[in-house]
Chain A
Amino acid sequence: MKYFAHIFIILFISLAVFSCTEKIDIKLDESYARLVVDGSITSDTMAQTIRLSSTSSYYYNQPAPMVSGAKVTITDGTQTFPLSEKTPGIYQTASSVFGIPGKTYQLNISLAKPIGGYADYFATSTMYPVRQLDSISLLYHPEWSKEGIWEVKCYVQEPPTVDFYRFLILRNHTMLTDSLDEWFVTDDVFFNGNYTNGATVAYLQQGASQESLSPGDDVTVEVNGIGKDYYDFVMEAQAELRGSNPLFSGPPANVKGNISNGAVGSFNAYSATRSSTKVPVFK
């Protein structure tokens, strides 16, 4: 329901006239440490990665403390893929591993020593299929901001089933949307079973160096078929990252993941397809 983004924009204009921000000292308590799981298995053939860390105090101001020495496996019920620790807290399968849409995968973690009272954790995730896009296109809106804004549009026949998607953007084969707050996830409530006919999947700010495009650049859209649980997880996490205010936001709340025993984070099986286009001459 990206439409809400529109509402936020227009309503905030009225506030922007008055509002200001400044840093403030707020003393915060520290809660107990929990295991943080951040990992996935995809339909691509590659070393599938699971990242294990632990929570820290909110003002920790250093990279997250990584969790080493765990035994990690992924299984689809018949086959089990062991993961080995490449760097502290980063666990990977062999590079020949890939997931198959329709299968359900289980992640098993056994820590060397317990965190938050537990040493063993598991999570399951079902891989959903995704269609190859017919094409993507780029539309430049010079009037939308000082430097202009690119609209990335996609063309595909959306299936009649209930589906959830994640869209990632690559520029010259480098991931632009490299953090959770930049991903675009959507359900198909407003498009279900329709031909999308150029529905917008991303906006790129020409004025921001990380997002600006030059004629001839390759722009790739990666579409992931994801489950409802993961869609909810990303939506909730994004809501917490975008901050709150008395108008739109409910009380802040912890992001619900799918890991057992109170661990934070998620394990997500997803499928991926990619479509590319070249940036035209503009301006």
Chain B
Amino acid sequence: MQKLLLIINIILLLVSPSITRAESNENETGKVTLSGYVHDQSNGEVLMGVSIYCAETKSGAVSNLYGFYSVSLMPGKYHLRYSYVGYKTLEKEIQLDKNLTLDINLEPVEAVLGEVVITGKRTDENVRAPEMSLMKMDIKTIRRVPALLGEIDIIKVLQLLPGVQSTSEGSSGFSVRGGSSDQNLILLDEATIFNASHLMGFFSVFNNDAVTDVALYKGDIPASYGGRLSSLLDVRMKDGNAKNFGVTGSIGTVSSKLTVEGPIIKDGTTFLVSCRRTYADLFLPLAKDENVRKSKLYFYDINMKLSHVINENNRLYLSGYSGRDTFKNEFASMGFGNQTASFRWNHLFTKKLFFNLSLIFSNYNYALGTPEGDASSFKWTSQMREYSTRFDFTHYLSDTHTLRYGATFMFHEFSPGKATGLGTESVVTEFVLPKEYALEHSLYVSDEYKATSKLTLKYGLRFALFQNIGPGTYYNFDSNYDRIDSTVYTRGNIFHTYPSLEPRLAFTYLLNKVSSFKGSYSHTAQYLTLAQNSTAGTPLDIWFPATPNVKPQLCDQVGIGYFHNLKSNMFEISAETYFKNYRNVIDFRDHALLLLNPYLEGELRIGTGYSYGIETMIRKNDGALTGWVSYTYSRSFRVIPEINNGNKYNAPYDKPHSVNIVLNYDVSKRFNASATWVYATGLPVTFPTGRAVIGNSIIPIYSNRNAYRMPDYHRLDMSVSYKGKDKPGRKWHGEWNLSIYNVYNRHNAWAINFTQDAADPNVTYAEKTYLFAIIPALTYNFKF
């Protein structure tokens, strides 16, 4: 801990001269700074990614993750434009003589939806933003997409974007640009979520009532983040309504939700508490099967957040999440869930130097057991934790340079598994996998440089260190992956270090007012891997760290894209292409044992991989009809010497073609209809090409790895929502939502198995399992 404090001091010392330099620069150039926070006028939530554009200088800025912006200009009179998708553009005339703090409130467009009035100029962020491969979603768009069982889900909506694929029907796991689902860094208010699934993945841990903003970086991952190869999913929780006390909720087919938010101290402190619980188990007593009747099956989520504005230079945020799934029946019970906590302090050293300190905790654990009273009664638990501190600085150095730099310190604790006997009758021997510990640190710096009015460059460097720290027991393996011996490390002994230098480069070149050309390169390293052998995974899958035996997985990605807006930014068109090269890719041996296996590292098989693709999309953000259409072509391969005889094979999430159509139509102020259609090539699979009879059973002989494909997947979902009448003075706002999943009742294969006929055991046939036929669901949402 002392070391940590020392490092903090060093950083602050490094920063302070640059602060003074920044100030002196100001004096030299005579520029003054306009800065402030951007809020939603209706509820006071901060808005991130709002573009601020100065007509006179043709320069601008974007509000950061905490809604803060800063622009440096020569003293004078300016016309500034604040614009953000879904909000009325605000134009302000400002006389700027000295440093000025200007907090802005933007009015949501929703109030005028359905009317033909078009609001000001639309944002051209798609073309102008110096980022590519970034998908942003505001919660209003997400809410309109038809959902399985009416349970609107952020991750399910992300899976409708080009380059993002679900790992299996109904799963919360997703693959970005051919990567594995564990290569996505999923953050909720900066805390890592290790398992984003509820109820076998049919729902994700994100309660959309508690979320304000979702950003998915598919490439061009900012230098401030690392540790995963494929993507960064940054989910931000609402701060809570700063203006009024409010209650929102919904009563749905599978779950109910309630959110309470409001100011505690006017314009000072706000709170938000949001809860969700499913009640599928309430219907289980109606089931025919007695075992099902006696089962329990539910999950809940609680999100909480406190925000406090100390003064114009200091803000505090405290947020937490806790969720848990419970399954229980006569034979066994199981529970799993994530808990996170993040404390953040925003501080303005100057109007040009924004600082954020975060203290973060995340935890994932599960427990599985059988009831007491039997010789084989047992309880099995597993847990992993992460403690981290982040220092992030945004330095608005000048109107051409924005520097971002900072440091992170992280401590990982793995308790991969422990099985013990339960009760006096049990004879089960205690079986404990040794705990593992690791440190992960990083320093980063990046600069966003507006080189000319047309060219913006972004370049950064991230230096990361991953260290294994004792106590720990590690096994050594021979070339056949058989265990030779083990090494025991004492407490506090840092016995292995992996450094990595990760450059991140990007450029945006404006061809004209409505089109741009962008490119990026990034190098990423991943130190934690999920021991998951199946495509969708289960809550029991555990994460394991890089060790002397397991090198970190590495990825280099290059991407270029063309962005074009039509009809004064009403339509956004984009086409991106990418190539990714992976090193030290981890796969597993045939019939690998990944759970409760002390020699897990002996089950790994390491190789290389690559993926490439083209993503095209046309999106309409404004008007009565909104939505997008996208087509993606993508391929992903692996080459691992001990798998598939060393021949190249299709990676588990290789889906060459996919089409997504998402449409939303505001029929009137109160009536809204939406539809989505998805199509994707079937996942690669391994099928039998022969059979052998052994022990009176027909044992399949298989093809090469992933040589076949599942049938193509396609599905149409629709939903309509109808709002109650708004009357002046009426506080209660209600809305009915009817959603239909899989409208044309396609039996999309979830699994294909080959079985022996019960009547004639010599006959074998293929059988598909499908999960969802057509499923309607009704939800009532309310707000008062």
A195 nearest in chain B by CB position:
B427
One of B517-525, B567-575, B654-662, B766-774 at the interface: B766-774
Verify if A22 is at the interface (C-beta below 8 Å from B).
Answer: yes
Of all chain B residues, the one with the shortest Cβ separation from A196 is B427
Interface string of A1-29 (1 = CB under 8 A from B): 10110110111011111111111111011
Contact with B along A189-212 (1 / 0, CB 8 A): 111111111111000000000000
Q: Is there a chain B Cβ closer than 8 Å to A181's Cβ?
A: yes
Q: How close is B147's CB to chain A, nearest CB, in angstroms?
A: 15
**Complex: A215 Cα to B422 Cα, angstroms:** 33
Task: Specify which chain B residues have a CB less than 8 angstroms from the CB of A13 in the assembled complex.
Answer: 291-292, 295, 297, 327, 329
A11 touches B538 (CB 8 A): yes
B297 and A53 within 8 A (CB): no
Instruction: Determine whether the beta carbon of B700 is less than 8 Å from that of A200.
Output: no
Residue B5 lies at the interface, judged by CB distance under 8 Å to chain A: no
**B282 contacts the other chain (CB 8 A):** no
* Complex alpha-carbon distance, A146 and B696, angstroms: 29
Task: Identify which of residues 396-452 in chain B touch chain A, using a CB-to-CB cut-off of 8 Å.
Answer: 419, 425, 427-429, 431
List A contacts of B631 (CB < 8 A). none
Report B-chain residues with C-beta under 8 Å of the C-beta of A180.
694-697, 699
Chain B residues near A200 (CB, 8 Å)? 374-376
Q: Is the CB of A36 within 8 A of B429?
A: no
A23-B767 contact given A13-B297, A14-B199, CB 8 Å threshold: yes
Q: CB distance A56 to B690 under 8 Å?
A: yes
Interface string of A24-44 (1 = CB under 8 A from B): 111011110110101000000
Point out which of A6, A60, A144, A198 has the most chain B C-beta atoms below 10 A from its C-beta: A6
Which listed residue (A14, A24, A237, A255) contacts B766, Cβ 8 A? A24
Q: Decide if A225 is an interface residue (CB 8 Å cutoff).
A: no
Cα distance A98–B542 in the bound complex, in angstroms? 46
Segment 630-672 of B: residues with Cβ below 8 Å from A: 652
> Dominant SS at the A interface?
loop
Q: Mark A232-269, 1 if CB is under 8 A from B, else 0.
A: 10111101110111111111111110000000111000
What sequence of 0s and 1s flags, for each residue 165-200 of chain A, a beta carbon within 8 Å of any chain B beta carbon? 000000000000011110100000111111111111
| Contact, CB under 8 Å: A7 / B696 | no
- Min CB distance, B773 to chain A, in Å? 7
B688 partner, pick from A28, A61, A247, A249, beta carbons under 8 A: A28
Q: Let me know if B479 is at the binding interface, CB within 8 A.
A: no
A241 engages B699 (CB within 8 Å): yes
A225 to B535, CA, bound (A): 36
A119 at the interface (CB under 8 A from B): no
Q: Please tell me if the beta carbons of A255 and B699 are within 8 angstroms of each other in the complex.
A: yes
| A-side contacts of B429, CB under 8 Å | 189-194
Question: CB distance B380 to A253 under 8 Å?
Answer: no
Residues of A within 8 A of B380 (CB): 3
Whether, in the assembled complex, A153 has its beta carbon less than 8 Å from a beta carbon of chain B, the answer is yes
Also in contact, A248 and B534, with CB within 8 A (given A11-B200, A153-B375): yes
**Which of B287, B328, B652, B768 neighbours the largest number of chain A CB atoms within 10 Å of its CB?**
B768
User: Which residues of B in the span 582-616 have a Cβ within 8 Å of any Cβ on A?
Assistant: 588, 590-592, 595-596
Q: Tell me, yes or no, whether B6 is within 8 Å of chain A by CB.
A: no
Please give, as numbers and ranges, the residues of chain A lying within 8 Å of B773 by CB-CB distance.
20
Which of A33, A237, A245, A247 is B699 in contact with, Cβ under 8 Å? A237
Q: Does A59 contact B (CB under 8 A)?
A: yes
Residues of B within 8 A of A11 (CB): 200, 327, 334, 538
User: Contacts A60-B691, A247-B200, A250-B533 given: A24-B768 contact, CB under 8 Å?
Assistant: yes
B695 touches A199 (CB 8 A): no
Contacts of A190 in B (CB 8 A): 376, 378, 419, 428-429, 431
Residues on B with beta carbons closer than 8 Å to the beta carbon of A77: none
Contacts of A6 in B (CB 8 A): 331-332, 368, 370
Chain A residues within 8 Å of B28, by CB: none
Residue from A36, A181, A189, A250 having most chain B Cβ neighbours under 10 A:
A250
- Asked if B329 and A58 sit within 8 Å, CB to CB, the answer is no
Highest count of chain B CB atoms <10 Å: which of A19, A30, A196: A19
CB <8 Å contact, A264 and B692: yes
Cβ-defined contact, A20 with B764, below 8 A? no
Does B331 lie within 8 Å of A9, measured CB to CB? yes
Q: Which of the listed residues B376, B538, B590, B772 has the most CB atoms from chain A within 10 Å of its own CB? A: B376
Closest residue of chain A to B587 (Cβ to Cβ) is A251
Residue from B295, B427, B693 having most chain A Cβ neighbours under 10 A: B693
Check A265–B694 contact: CB distance below 8 A. yes
- Chain B contacts with A in 301-351, Cβ cutoff 8 A: 327-334
Are B701 and A7 closer than 8 Å at their CB atoms? no
The CA-CA distance from A276 to B699 in the complex, in Å, is 31
For residue B537, CB closer than 8 A to chain A, the reply is yes
Is the Cβ of A199 less than 8 Å from the Cβ of B694?
no
A55 at the interface (CB under 8 A from B): yes
Answer yes or no: B750 CB below 8 A from chain A CBs. Answer: yes
Residues of A within 8 A of B749 (CB): 24
Least CB distance from A237 to B in Å reads 5
Task: State whether B701 touches A239 (Cβ < 8 A).
Answer: no
Q: Given the interface contacts A15-B200, A197-B427, does A246 sit within 8 Å of B376 by beta carbon?
A: no
- The stretch of B127-135, B153-161, B752-760 in contact with A is B752-760
Out of A36, A236, A249, A265, name the residue touching B534 (CB < 8 Å): A249
Task: A235 to B693: give the CA distance in the assembly, Å.
Answer: 16
Q: Would you give the shortest CB distance from B688 to chain A, in whole angstroms?
A: 5
- Residues of chain A within 8 A (CB-CB) of B698 are 241
* Residue from A7, A38, A240, A244 in contact with B751 in the complex, judged by beta carbons closer than 8 Å: A244
List B contacts of A24 (CB < 8 A): 711, 749, 752, 766-768
Residues of A within 8 A of B41 (CB): none
Instruction: Kindly state the separation between the CA atoms of A10 and B332 in the bound complex, as whole angstroms.
Output: 7
For B168, B692, B747, B762, which residue has the most chain A Cβ atoms within 10 angstroms?
B692
Which B residues are CB-close (under 8 A) to A266?
A: 694
Say yes or no for B686: interface residue by CB 8 A criterion: yes
Shortest C-beta distance, A240 to chain B (Å), equals 6
Q: Return the contact of A62 from the options B696, B752, B762 (Cβ within 8 A).
A: B762
| Interface check B29, CB cutoff 8 A | no
Residues of chain B contacted by A31 (CB below 8 angstroms): 689-690, 701, 703
User: Contacts of A248 on B, CB cut-off 8 Å?
Assistant: 534, 538
B427–A63 touching, CB < 8 Å: no
B83 CB–A CB distance under 8 Å: no
Q: Which residues of B contact A196 (CB under 8 A)?
A: 375, 427
Docked-complex contact B538 and A251, CB < 8 angstroms = no
Tell me which residues across on chain B come within 8 A of A179, comparing CB atoms.
Answer: 695-697
**Pair A14/B332 contact, Cβ less than 8 Å:** no
* A21 proximity list for chain B (CB < 8 A): 767-770
Give every chain A residue within 8 A of B689 (Cβ-Cβ). Answer: 28-31, 57-58
CA distance A141 to B325 in the complex (A): 28
Cα–Cα, bound, A14→B295 (Å): 9
Contact code string B218-241 (vs A, CB < 8 Å = 1, else 0): 000000000000000000000000
**Contacting A251 at CB < 8 Å: which of B376, B533, B752?**
B533
Q: Would you mind naming 25 contact pairs between A and B with Cβ atoms under 8 Å apart?
A: A3-B370, A3-B378, A7-B368, A13-B292, A20-B747, A21-B767, A22-B768, A56-B691, A58-B690, A58-B701, A61-B764, A144-B330, A178-B696, A179-B697, A199-B375, A236-B591, A237-B699, A241-B697, A245-B769, A250-B534, A250-B591, A251-B590, A251-B652, A256-B590, A264-B699
Residues of B bordering A, CB below 8 Å: 167-169, 171, 199-200, 280, 287, 290-292, 295, 297, 327-334, 368, 370, 374-376, 378, 380, 419, 425, 427-429, 431, 533-538, 540, 588, 590-592, 595-596, 652, 685-703, 705-706, 708, 711, 747, 749-755, 760, 762-773
Top 6 A-B residue pairs of the complex, sorted by shortest distance between their CB atoms: A180-B695, A253-B590, A250-B533, A179-B696, A243-B753, A246-B168
